[in-house]
Amino acid sequence: MRRGPGPRGLPDPGRCLVMGVVNVTPDSFSDGGEWFGAEAAIGRGRKLAAQGADIVDVGGESTRPGAQRITADEELRRVIPVITGLARENIPVSVDTMRAEVAAAALDAGARLVNDVSGGLADPDMPRLVAQAAVPYVVMHWRGHSHQMQERAVYADVVREVCEELRRRIDVVIAEGVDPSMIVVDPGLGFAKLAEHNWALLVNLDRLSRLDGADHVFPVLVGASRKRFLGRLLAAPDGTPRSFAGSDDATVAVTALAAAAGAWCARVHQVPANSDAVGVAEAWRAAAREAGPAAAGEAGPAAAAAGEARPGAAREAGS
Ligand code: PMM
């Protein structure tokens, strides 16, 4: 698929971006507790940037299935010192929050992007704040807070429904004044999704980028890193899922495939191997573009990349 141009104000290296994650939480999905203190979290963010992260994503609220919410004060206490410390070093920082109040303070502290896993549903003030600040906005597909999301993982046609629901969110966000060119879409892997839903979305990034029919091509962010569907895929013969860290190699595989398919950004916990995967994917895309229609005759990322060079080719190839 064609990779939509990224929003203004963020790095634009002409390849899929790598977003490194710093969860300042005691209980996050996958790295809870590791970077809970501000100094540890700043050190981690600095390291991710030195390893090649284009953006460092700082979050203070766990979205682990079943997690309970924390107060806004606690969230501010966790993330603001970290964002201040990283932004002072000129590291591009995004804030992973569902609260407009936290996003506002984070932007004041130097964050350049708002990553809202609820796509503006958790806090109706968020889209207006983002519009006024004129910063890039990640609108993720979401069906409810962590304690209720897994029971909402029910779809007749997950790709169509996620596109429709995202489209409704984006209509609201644009009506509140957000510039469409500042919006990034995210399928929300693992958020009210079973493994089969995650895979269906991953192989349909092209449809997501167009929200199944919109004229605009939105940049797509993919957050597969250390998610449970990878741990379950790699389960031991007795059914024990892989640990979070044990699915890092599988994350790298998803990054390579998503970047080759034209994703704008991969959100990951480990940067070096995922950066390498992006490098491989970009070489793959370049070769597929060079090969042109011949590559478009093959299914898979090559077809997607070749389709970029020749509009309509991917559709002709039946993908
Ligand atoms: N996943 C998590 C947190 N924030 N943000 C975006 N945009 N997309 C995601 O998929 C996403 C996110 C949960 O993962 P973590 O707790 O392991 O960081």
- pLDDT value of position 317: 31
Q: Which residue is catalytic, options 44, 227, 228, 242?
A: 227
Atom of ligand 1 nearest to the CA of 226: 17
- Could you tell me if 227 and 234 are in contact, meaning their C-beta atoms sit under 8 angstroms apart? no
pLDDT for 316 equals 30
Distance of alpha carbon 24 from the chain centroid: 18
**CA–CA separation, 319 and 306 (whole Å):** 12
Structural domains of the chain, with CATH: 15-111 (3.20.20.20)
Write out pLDDT tens, residues 92-146.
Answer: 999 999 999 999 999 999 999 999 999 999 999 999 999 999 999 999 999 988 8
CA distance 126 to 301: 35
35 close to ligand 1 (CB < 6 Angstrom): no
Q: Is 115 in the pocket of ligand 1 (CB under 6 A)?
A: yes
Closest-CA residue, ligand 1 atom 16, reads: 29
Closest alpha carbon to 98 in 118, 68, 81, 127: 118
Per residue in 183-218, pLDDT tens?
999 999 999 999 999 999 999 999 999 998 878 999
Residue-wise pLDDT for 55-75, tens only, equals: 999 999 988 777 788 999 999
| Catalytic residue (choose from 3, 143, 193, 267) | 267
What's the pTM? 0.91
Q: Which residues of 144-176 are buried (b: 16+ CB within 10 A; e: fewer)?
A: ebbeebbeebebeebbebbbebbbebbebbbeb
Round to whole Å and give the CA distance between 150 and 101. Answer: 27
Is 60 exceeded by the pLDDT of residue 87? yes
Structure tokens at 72: 């806004």
Tell me the mean pLDDT in the region 161-174: 97
